[in-house]
Amino acid sequence: MDQFVHISPLLTALLTLIAPLAAFVYQAIVGKRDQSGLVSLTAIILSFIAGGLTWFSIWNNPAVSIQVNWFTIGETSFKVGILLNNLSTLMLFLVPTVALPVHIYSRAYMHGDTGIHRYWMYLSLFCFAMLGLVIMDSLLLMYVFWELVGFASYLLIGFWFTRETAVQANKKAFLVNRIGDLGFLIGLAILFTQFKTLNLIDLFGDNGLIYQSTIAQGLWISPVNSLPQIWLTIAGLAFFLAAMAKSAQFPLHVWLPDAMEGPTSVSSLIHAATMVAAGVFLLATVFPLFNESALLFIAIIGTITAALAAYFALGQYDIKRILAFSTISQLGFMMVGIGIGTWDAALFHLTTHAFFKCLLFLSAGAVIHEMAHLKEHSHLDFDPQDLRNMGGLRQYMPKTFVLMSIASLALAGFPLTSGYLSKDSIVISSFEWAISKGNLYLIIPISLILVSILTAFYIGRLLFKAFFGEFRLLKQLQGKLHDQPLHEAPKTMLIPMFVLGLFCLFPLFSFNPFSYHDSWLMDGLLLDEYAFSPSHSAHLIIPVILLLGSGIGWIIGWKWYVQNKYPLNAASQGLKAAFNQGYINEFYQAVFVNGTLKLAQFCYWFDLHIVDALISLIQFIVLSLSQLSVWIDKYIVDGFVNTVATVAYWTGNQVRLVQNGKIQTTLYSVFLLVLLGLIYLIFF
């Protein structure tokens, strides 16, 4: 082992990052000629090994970083560098650890798809972007990878680009994420203005600039600049806006359920385990920036998101959408963890969630895979993702059932699973935090407890409806198929699921299955002192409440969904609202999308009929003036000249009559001239 440790962690970290990039470039160049995906798979295996080595040598050791100059603008040099500390290496290892099983799984799941070369290319790009995001040492570079992650997600959601819903969904995802990106950019601008650097070590390292800055007399004073105090809050909220979009927090959560249009393997890796957690990671990174009000806001949004998403999950029938809402809900929990100041707990939940949510999606994918095959063979038209078409799958896919149950228990926070440890750490901490703050704050932990119970219920509903009872399509299928309608998933899919299943259990995270304080992960993130005092009774009572609540929920669920004693009216307003996600999408469509389009149309109308018309008006005026001057020229200036000419001509003509050669006429005109001369002399 020793010689491994001697390899520089910087080198291994770079290898972790570059392997997927190389695979992406390779796949982009060869295109259709290589559909196997072996290069991408090899790359992620390399990443996994190198990431593991990096993590192993950095964990609980001093942070390591390296920088090279990138460019200089004005007097500021921007550098490219990587920063390896506990937080970043944890993520650096986590990402390939989840991505590797997904890659293996995809080889079976995506088999035979005509565009599979694109799939591998995008997947490698995503891994590269995600890994880059976690180890970059400056906020500018994080922003770069932050958007690249969103771009990769755009490509993968719209992987089946001939489907209208898929291309609508990826556009929506990118645009909603863009709103968050603006927050990130504004956060960057504020920090750069205030500190003249975006380097993480300079800002947040030991005795970093953030810690050196103070608040005095309404000003936020850093060693190099000062801004009005409000900008500190705005900076915090700007970064939170970024996290809200990426981590699908209310009210920007709307893109995630739609993102389920992508392949299920993608949903499991990107829209459940890694990318959506990037927001939590970002907040943990910039945590020292947040002041009281920003933190409280984060906690409140987290709670609302957790509650709302759990409620929406209850009304869904699409198996992937239920899981999507459960992801949103769990991300809400993590946000609360950040908001109450225990970002180590948030990160812990992020880690455990990555595994069990990934497994949940992969299991759902196995089910969908089989259902889709059935649809193909039987020529029946049904939605392979709809729970109402499933039921009794336990008999056909027992291994999938067991694995999915383990993951569901972890999600519900059942003892002996990893979810128990991490979720309790957030709920209990929030309780302790609320006690130290005051009674009103208790709303947050109480909501979280209720949401946890609801979580157990909706995931129970999913399991009961899909795996228990009778297979609902059996009647329609009669006579159409020769053997069993459904089979267990192929080994290539099952093995990665099995590995993830192991990761859903407690021993991997803590040797004491009942106390998160013993978890190596929480220890390693070294947030030894919370701002509030621990409460021993909470450690005992809350888990018991949660367990009892979940148990009752499952019993009810069993009665309703397995024994078919469903007492509620499915058409009731409450359930319809849950199914339609609270009509939020419709509201956004009507107000923001149509509003913007209307505004855009108005602008174009304005451009054509006001701005350009003004130009036309000027043109008209100039032309009219020139016509006027033509008229003047013709009838006045020229007219005068012509009149003079005409008069002269006429006079000439008259005078000509005199020259007729007769002596009388000559004498007569001489006389006339003399007369005229005399008149002139007399009168003038």
Partner 1 sequence: MPILSLLIFLPLLATALILALPTRYKSSYKYIALAFTAIQFVLAGICYAQFDASKTGVQDLGGYQFIEQLSWIRLDLGSIGKLEIDYLIGIDGISMPLLLLSAFVMLMAIGASWNIQKSPKGYFALLMVLNMAVMGIFCALDFFLFYLFYEVMLLPLYFLIGIWGGARREYAAIKFFLYTLFGSVFMLLIIVGLYFSVINPLTGAHTFNMIYMMNPQNYLEGSIFGWEGYQEILGVSARLIGFIVLFFAFAIKVPIVPLHTWLPDAHVEAPTPVSIILAGILLKIGGYGIIRICYSIFPDMAALSNWWLGLIGVVSIIYGALNALSQKDLKRMIAYSSVSHMGFVLLGIASLTAEGISGAMFQMISHGFLSAALFFLVGVVYDRVHDRNIYSFRGLAQIMPKYTGYVAVAFFASLGLPGFSAFIGEAFVIIGSFNAASIGTGLPRWMALGGSIGILLSAAYLLWTLQRMFFGQIRLKGGESWSNALTDLNSREQIILFPTLALALLLGVMPALVFNNLNASVLNLVSFIQQFI
Q: Which residues bind partner 1 (CB under 8 A)?
A: 69-76, 140, 143-145, 147-148, 151, 158, 161-164, 167-168, 171, 174-175, 178-179, 181-182, 185-186, 188-190, 192-193, 225, 227, 596-597, 599-601, 603-604, 607, 611-612, 614-615
Using the minimum distance from each CB to partner 1, give the nearer residue, 55 or 154. 154
- Nearest partner of 134 among 351, 422, 357, 410, judged by Cα: 351
Amino acid at 475: K
Q: Between residues 4 and 605, which has the closer beta carbon with respect to partner 1?
A: 605
How many CB atoms are closer than 10 A to CB 481? 12
Q: Which is nearer to partner 1, 185 or 577 (CB)?
A: 185
Nearer to partner 1, 223 or 574 (CB): 223
Q: Which is nearer to partner 1, 566 or 592 (CB)?
A: 592
Query: Min. distance of Cβ 119 from partner 1 in angstroms?
Result: 15
Residue 552: count of CB within 10 angstroms of its CB: 13
In the bound complex, what is the minimum distance in angstroms from residue 150's beta carbon to partner 1? 9
Report d(CA 347, CA 359) in Å as an integer: 19
Minimal distance, residue 374 CB to partner 1, in Å: 25
Q: Where are the alpha helices (DSSP H) in 509-637?
A: 520-524, 536-557, 573-579, 584-588, 594-606, 612-631
Nearer to partner 1, 71 or 684 (CB): 71
Which one, of 407, 403, 435, lies nearest residue 419 by Cα? Answer: 407
Order of strands across the sheet with 214-216? 214-216, 219-221, 226-228
Residue 211, both tokens? 């810690």
Q: Tell me whether residue 173 or residue 462 sits nearer to partner 1 (CB atom).
A: 173
Q: How far is the CB of 322 from partner 1 (least distance, A)?
A: 27
Q: Which is nearer to partner 1, 4 or 161 (CB)?
A: 161
CB of 72 to partner 1, least distance (A): 6
Give min distance, CB of 420 to partner 1, in A: 39
**Number of Cβ atoms within 10 Å of the Cβ of 33:** 8
Sign of CA dihedral 480, 482, 484, 488: negative
259 DSSP assignment: G
User: How far, in Å, CA of 493 to CA of 485, rounded?
Assistant: 19
User: Which residue, 111 or 609, has its beta carbon nearer to partner 1?
Assistant: 609
CA distance 650 to 80: 96
Q: Which of 316, 400, 228 is nearest to 577 (CA)?
A: 316
Measured between alpha carbons, how far is 544 from 416 in angstroms, rounded to an integer?
A: 14
Smallest separation, CB 43 to partner 1 (Å)? 19
Min. distance of Cβ 311 from partner 1 in angstroms? 29
Closest listed residue to residue 489, CA positions, set 612, 372, 408, 325: 372
- Quick one: 192 or 558, whose CB is closer to partner 1? 192
If the CB atoms of residues 188 and 284 are measured against partner 1, the closer one turns out to be: 188
Instruction: State in angstroms the smallest separation of the CB of 223 from partner 1.
Output: 14
Sign of CA dihedral 231, 233, 239, 241: negative
For residue 235, the minimal CB distance to partner 1 (Å) is 11
Angle ∠(272,276,281) on CA atoms, nearest 5: 125
Spatial separation of the C-alpha atoms in residues 469 and 604, rounded to whole Å: 59
Q: 598 vs 662, which CB is nearer to partner 1?
A: 598
For 71, 239, 243, 289, 597, the CA distances from 187, given in Å and listed in that order, are 21, 6, 12, 11, 28
Residue 322, both tokens: 């239920």
Q: Is the separation of the CB atoms in 355 and 503 below 8 Å?
A: yes
Nearer to partner 1, 131 or 410 (CB): 131
Whole-angstrom CA distances from 624 to 618, 621, 628, 629, 633 are 10, 5, 6, 9, 14
For residue 477, the minimal CB distance to partner 1 (Å) is 30
How far apart are CB 261 and partner 1 at their closest, in Å? Answer: 12
Q: Are strands 64-73 and 219-221 parallel, antiparallel or unpaired?
A: unpaired
Comparing C-alpha atoms, which of 194, 37, 225, 200 is closest to residue 133? 200
Nearest approach, Cβ of residue 431 and partner 1 (Å): 38
Q: Which is nearer to partner 1, 165 or 646 (CB)?
A: 165
State the nearest-atom distance from the C-beta of 292 to partner 1, in Å.
23
CB of 534 to partner 1, least distance (A): 42
206, with CB counted inside 10 A (0-12, 13-18, 19+), is exposed
Residue 611 or 645: which CB sits closer to partner 1? 611
d(CA 631, CA 482): 96
